[in-house]
Amino acid sequence: MADLLIGSDQANDTERVAVDGIVEGYGPARVEEHARMVRGGGQRRHERRHLLLPALHALQHSEGWISPGGLNYACEQLQVPPAEAYGVATFYEMFRTDDPGHVDDVVHVCVDGPCQVAGAAQTIEALKAEGKHVHASPCLGQCERPVAQFIQGRRRPDNVEADAFVDPAESVPQKGDPGLRLLRRAGRIDPTSLESYIGAGGYKALAKAFERGASDVVEQVVTSGLMGRGGAAFPTGIKWRGVAAEPGGQADPSQPKYVVVNADESEPGTFKDRVLIETDPFAVIEATTIAGFATGATKGWIYIRGEYPLATERLENAIAEAHKAGFLGDGIARSSFNFEIEVRRGAGAYICGEETALFNSIEGFRGEPRQKPPFPTTNGLFDRPTAINNPETLVNVLDIVLDGGDEFAKIGTETSSGSKLFCLSGAVNKPGVYEVDFGATLGDMLELAGGVVGDLSAVLLGGAAGSFVTADQLDLPLTFEGVRAAEVSLGSGVVMVFNTDADLNAAVVRLAEFFRNESCGQCVPCRVGTQRQHEIAVDLFTPSGNAARVANPAQTFDDLDRVMKDASICGLGHTASTALRSALDLGLLSIGDNEQGGRE
């Protein structure tokens, strides 16, 4: 501790116990011999830095904020400079670094998408009137039941206002449909019981994977044509092949390789991974284990968003149960394969769904994306080769291993193989997660969800980073090739429906505000670009705005769109203007449509 200068503020006993629980719980210190730094210096050799995020969670949970004394104590234990730890703490929505002045729970209320339309503002007012401490939150991933709430507990577990989650049929209206693949167990097994999972065919795929051998598993995934379901649609098999070819891992555990599950599902309108994990957590654990076996990885990490307490609990339970039964740990199922999985909770930051930002977050740094190249397959988590996949993507692998890549490739269309989870929300009769084989059109999906409530105005396809489409595009096939031809994107499978009662101007202004709030702030085009985009959207599209303030709005939006797409570091900046641009291009908004001014 000699070379860190830590201030004189002292932690109280509660804070000490909270931090000690994290440090002690982790066991002996881990040394990364090859923790070579992206930014130079010896810092990453501090082997406990990756415990910073869990320690901050523990402090927030114990006192309702991260106090100077608490931060100092964590820094001393983890050997992290206080200024850097403060930089990390202030990065996340769920942490606060000022004394809240109360000791109550905090109710996070979603103000995005369907929750905005359903009256989030009134919900917030009503809760405040009840004396609750309320925090307006970006999308909470419970879009099938607006207005979504998440309760951040102080010294008691976090929770959601959750009556609806008792019955999975609320979130999976197709529950029990024999055509389901990814959702076949949803609502039909006890998600907390390994026995129940095995009884429904669980862990047959892992046995089959051992039988096939690692390289055959990779080749089956390549043959299957499986594309990533997180939004980028990168071929999963190619990614795995890259990681499998890197040295280290199972062959030399002193040079680890990793599998990371990106369950930081934060794209507004997306809740499929939450539902998948809540209803079938063992499937995610089994698939992650297979990914580890196939790529030769030594450890799996599941990074799950902080606002998903039930999914987190079920994953942790599944890992513990799998361990007890010998499906995790050393010599899995009497093989020579050793594999562990650790769950890490995010703390409220959309950007941490970007893969390299996610790595930085786990490592205890600010969740700022890294410039690529190098790519995660060679330089990922802790600068080691890493296969990072979305939970839905991984669960597909179970069938691929069991049935073979060729069989899987027959499902769906020629270039979009398999089935896809879609998140239907907003103005449909039965919102929820729906699974269809690739090939269904937008109109099919709306029908599946019980049809539109009222008259269709527009659909936000792909999430906040996606595009609006209108009623004349109901024939659009929701396949990778279909959306590419229409110059839109599937994103994470969001189908957010607005009817003519919804205020699209307000929705678009909120989208602009979302990106402004969620930009990490690292690069200028995104940090300042999202700010200006929001300011100008407020001026043009809200009653209180001053449209005359913007000299040439169309040109300005165009320039912001171009600079963010061309010059931002990561996908957040690249897509921050897409939805707004599409709404403008479709004529869903009229510039200057407010009381103060008109278009020049």
Partner 1 sequence: MSANGHETPVSLTIDGQRVTVASGSSVLDACTEAGVATPTLCYSENLTPVNACRVCVVEMEGSRTLVPSCSRQAEPDMVIETDSERVRHSRKTVLELLGSGVDLSQADELGQWVTHYEADVERFGAGRATMEEPIRIQDELYIRDYDRCVLCYKCVEACGDDAQHTFAIAVAGRGFDARIRTEFDTALPDSACVYCGNCVAVCPTNALQFKTEFDLREVDNWRPEEQSVTRTVCSYCGVGCNLELHVQDETIVKVTSPADHSVTDGHLCIKGRFGWTYVHGA
**Which of 70, 95, 72, 96 lies closest to 12, judged by CA?**
70
> How far apart are the C-alpha atoms of 149 and 120, rounded to whole Å?
10
Size of the site for partner 1 (CB under 8 A): 58
Nearest CB to partner 1, comparing residues 344 and 516: 516
Angle between helices 553-567 and 524-541 (to 10 degrees): 160
Q: Which CB sits closer to partner 1, 135 or 532?
A: 532
Nearer to partner 1, 17 or 37 (CB): 37
Among 51, 85, 332, 421, binds partner 1 (CB under 8 A): 85
| Segment lying near partner 1 (by CB under 8 A), choices 4-12, 25-33, 170-178, 397-405 | 4-12
Could you tell me which residues come within 8 angstroms of residue 471 by beta carbon, excluding any fewer than 6 positions away?
Answer: 456
Residue linked to tokens 């992290």: 80
In the structure encoding, which two tokens stand for residue 538, read together? 């407020």
For residues 20 to 39, the per-residue mask of contacts with partner 1, x marking binding by CB under 8 A and - elsewhere, is: -----------------x-x
Select from 14-22, 112-120, 161-169, 560-568 the region that touches partner 1 (CB under 8 A): 560-568
* Residue 593 touching partner 1 (CB under 8 A): no
State in angstroms the smallest separation of the CB of 321 from partner 1: 37
Smaller CB separation from partner 1, 71 or 478: 71
Give least dist CB 263 to partner 1, A.
21
Cα–Cα distance, 44 to 31 (Å, whole number): 10
Only one of the segments 40-48, 187-195, 406-414, 497-505 lies at the binding site for partner 1 (rule: CB under 8 A); that segment is 40-48
Task: Using the rule CB under 8 A, give the single segment among 132-140, 195-203, 307-315, 522-530 that binds partner 1.
Answer: 522-530
With CB under 8 A as the contact rule, the residue among 531, 593, 596, 599 that binds partner 1 is 531
Q: What is the closest distance, in whole angstroms, from the C-beta atom of residue 421 to partner 1 in the complex?
A: 27
User: Is residue 235 close enough to count as binding partner 1 by CB under 8 A?
Assistant: no
Nearer to partner 1, 406 or 559 (CB): 559
Q: How many residues does the chain have?
A: 600
- Which residues make Cβ contacts (< 8 Å) with residue 449, sequence separation at least 6? 173, 424, 428, 429, 430, 431, 432, 434, 495, 497
For residue 301, the minimal CB distance to partner 1 (Å) is 23
CB 322 within 8 A of CB 200: no
Q: In the set 140, 172, 261, 349, which binds partner 1 (CB under 8 A)?
A: 349
Options 87-95, 172-180, 186-194, 354-362: segment touching partner 1 (CB under 8 A) = 87-95
- Alpha-carbon distance 523 to 323, whole Å? 43
Report if residue 530 touches partner 1, rule: CB under 8 A.
Answer: yes
Burial of 42 from C-beta contacts in 10 A (0-12 / 13-18 / 19+):
exposed
Q: Which is nearer to partner 1, 124 or 572 (CB)?
A: 572
- Alpha helix positions (H), 26-81: 52-63, 68-78
- Alpha carbons 585 and 596: distance in angstroms, whole number: 23
Report the nearest approach of partner 1 to the CB of residue 209 (Å).
35
The encoded tokens of residue 543 equal: 């009653």
The residue range among 85-93, 111-119, 317-325, 589-597 that interacts with partner 1, by the rule CB under 8 A, is 85-93
Q: Which of 116, 492, 568, 594 binds partner 1 (CB under 8 A)?
A: 568
| Between 202 and 369, CB nearer to partner 1 | 369
C-alpha–C-alpha distance, residues 68 and 78, integer Å: 15
Q: Say how far apart CA 73 and CA 388 lie, in whole Å.
A: 33
Residue closer to partner 1 by CB (options 9, 190) is 9
Interface residue with partner 1 among 215, 254, 335, 371 (CB under 8 A) is 371
> Which of 21, 47, 65, 81 touches partner 1 (CB under 8 A)?
81
Draw the binding track, 147-166, toward partner 1 (x: CB under 8 A; -: no contact): --------------------
For position 527 contacting partner 1 by CB under 8 A, the verdict is yes
- According to the binding rule CB under 8 A, does residue 539 interact with partner 1? yes
Query: Which among 110-118, 131-139, 449-457, 553-561 is the span making contact with partner 1, rule CB under 8 A?
Result: 553-561
Please identify which residue in 4, 207, 320, 485 interacts with partner 1, judged by CB under 8 A.
Answer: 4
What distance in Å separates the CA atoms of residue 444 and residue 498, rounded to the nearest whole number?
Answer: 16
Q: Tokens standing for 161?
A: 């206002």
DSSP character string of 71-119: HHHHHHHHT--HHHHHHHHTT-TT---S--S--S-EEEEE-SHHHHHTT
Instruction: List binders of partner 1 among 91-130 (CB under 8 A).
Output: 91, 97
- Shortest separation between residue 7's beta carbon and partner 1, angstroms: 6
E strand or H helix that includes residue 494? strand 494-499
Q: Does 10 bind partner 1 (CB under 8 A)?
A: no
Residue of the chain from 20, 47, 76, 84 that contacts partner 1 (CB under 8 A): 84
Q: Which two tokens stand for residue 579?
A: 């939805």
Alpha helices (runs of H) in 307-454, residue ranges in sequence order: 309-324, 355-363, 391-403, 405-410, 442-448
For the range 210-213, what are the long-range contacts, defined as Cβ-Cβ under 8 Å and sequence gap of 24 or more?
A: 210/293, 210/333, 210/335, 210/337, 212/401
Residues that bind partner 1 (CB under 8 A): 3-5, 7, 37, 39-43, 68, 71, 81-87, 90-91, 97, 349, 366, 371, 516-525, 527-532, 535-536, 539, 549-551, 556, 559-560, 562-563, 565-569, 574
